[in-house]
Amino acid sequence: MVVSSQTTLQNSSHIFKTCNIPVIDMLDPQAKFHITKACQEFGFLKVVNHGIPNETMTNLEGDAAKFFNLPQCEKNKVCPANPFGYGNKRIGSNGDVGWVEYLLFTTNSEIVSEKSVSIPGNSQLFWSSLNEYVTAVRNMACLVLEKIADGLTIEPKNVLSRLLRDQKSDSCFRLNYYPPCTELEALSGGNGNLIGFGEHTDPQVISVIRSNNTTGLQISLRDGTWVSVPPDQYSFFIIVGDSLQVMTNGRFRGVKHRVLANSLKARLSMIYFGGPPLNEKIAPLSSLMEEGEESLYKEFTWHEYKKSAYKTRLSDHRLGLFEKKIEVS
């Protein structure tokens, strides 16, 4: 595993610390061990040599940029996000706001449904680049999950990836556009940190982020410090979600992350959130549990967790409601 070096990143007028983010070469025969270690330590990693053609990413990026650059009145024709559709500054339905516009789509194991959100313009091309991208990224997410099963020496190898491949997989896909903010200093109250997308963990199993070459993404380390992730348009970033934290009984951690707005450049990110079918029980994998080990979590289905999660604010500790209280004698 290569570890990206520690340095500083300039975001508009501010300098942020970056950290040693694990970089996984998917062609490395040891990748399964490196991925597993990164999920335990950070809940976050970068994937290189993933085999997804650059064109698959740039085609969708181009189509998404075309959409976000349309006049506001055109974008407003898309159904307002609830949760699927077009959103502008408001995130979710519980009062969160950010310097971001987005399109949120539902997807199962096959396609991103055109019925969920209708896009103005030459939408046929948009849907074909969207579906090509999501298919490629889902396959890569499944490969990562298979390497995790291998790294943890659990059987069967598809114990995690089957959730994303299931026809009823409740996954979603998001295009986030963070316009450059010319009044960043004023809007941030003078501290230069304007929230694009507030701190949160992702509720699903695994998320895959690809962005253009604009800074903004930050992750929180175990000690609570925020570090900037240097952008890399050719690679993917993997995020461990709350559900994978539960399935590994806390061995992996769902990483807190956020995006800060930039005063000079637009950030465009595309995120696949791999989720299980609604009726799937989310519980520690039996093949992983050691003798006498107890689950740290109450039993729940993905449907129950999602219903509860969507009532929370972004920064809430969503898993808190499902953690078992440890008896102190």
Ligand X SMILES: O=C(O)CCC(=O)C(=O)O
Ligand Y SMILES: C=C1C[C@]23C[C@@]1(O)CC[C@H]2[C@@]12CC[C@H](O)[C@@](C)(C(=O)O1)[C@H]2[C@@H]3C(=O)O
User: Which of these segments, 5-13, 133-141, 199-207, 314-322, binds Fe ion (CB under 5 A)?
Assistant: 199-207
Return the biggest CA–CA distance within the chain.
Answer: 65
CA–CA distances in Å: residue 309 to residues 304, 306, 313 = 9, 5, 8
- Minimum distance, C-beta of residue 266 to ligand X, in the bound complex (Å): 12
- Among 282, 218, 310, which residue's Cα sits nearest to residue 256? 218
**End-to-end Cα separation, the chain, in angstroms:** 42
CA–CA distances in Å: residue 113 to residues 25, 84, 85, 282 = 32, 11, 12, 26
Asked if residue 19 binds ligand X (CB under 6 A), the reply is no
Asked if residue 96 binds Fe ion (CB under 5 A), the reply is no
Asked if residue 197 binds ligand X (CB under 6 A), the reply is yes
Query: Per CB under 6 A, which of residues 7..66 are in contact with ligand Y?
Result: none
CA–CA distances in Å: residue 244 to residues 7, 43, 76 = 30, 10, 35
- Among 302, 273, 308, which residue's Cα sits nearest to residue 176? 273
Of residues 61, 146, 170, 202, which one binds ligand Y by CB under 6 A?
202
Asked if residue 63 binds Fe ion (CB under 5 A), the reply is no
Pattern 157-196, binding to ligand X, x per CB under 6 A? Answer: -----------------x-x--------------------
Of residues 43, 133, 269, 302, which one binds ligand X by CB under 6 A?
269
Taking the C-alpha atoms of residue 300 and residue 243, their distance in angstroms, rounded to an integer, is 10
Of residues 92, 98, 254, 274, which one binds ligand Y by CB under 6 A?
92
Count the alpha carbons within 13 Å of 69 in the hemisphere toward its beta carbon. 9
Taking the C-alpha atoms of residue 230 and residue 11, their distance in angstroms, rounded to an integer, is 10
Sequence-ordered alpha helix ranges (H) in the chain? 31-41, 54-68, 72-75, 123-151, 161-165, 184-187, 242-247, 302-309
User: Which of these segments, 64-72, 136-144, 177-185, 304-312, binds ligand Y (CB under 6 A)?
Assistant: 304-312
Asked if residue 242 binds Fe ion (CB under 5 A), the reply is no
Phi, then psi, of 208 in degrees rounded to 5: -125, 120
User: Which of these segments, 20-28, 32-40, 187-195, 310-318, binds ligand Y (CB under 6 A)?
Assistant: 310-318
Among ligand Y, Fe ion, ligand X, none, what does residue 96 contact (CB within 5–8 Å per kind)? ligand Y
Which is catalytic among the residues 251, 267, 313, 318? 267
Pattern 229-268, binding to ligand Y, x per CB under 6 A? Answer: ----------------------------------------
Sequence-ordered alpha helix ranges (H) in 79-221? 123-151, 161-165, 184-187
Residue bearing tokens 């959409």: 67
- Minimum distance, C-beta of residue 212 to Fe ion, in the bound complex (Å): 17
Known catalytic residue at 251: no
> Cβ closer to Fe ion: 197 or 297?
197
Q: Which residues bind ligand Y (CB under 6 A)?
A: 83, 91-92, 94, 96, 104, 172, 174, 200, 202-203, 273, 309-310, 312-314
Active-site residues: which are they?
267
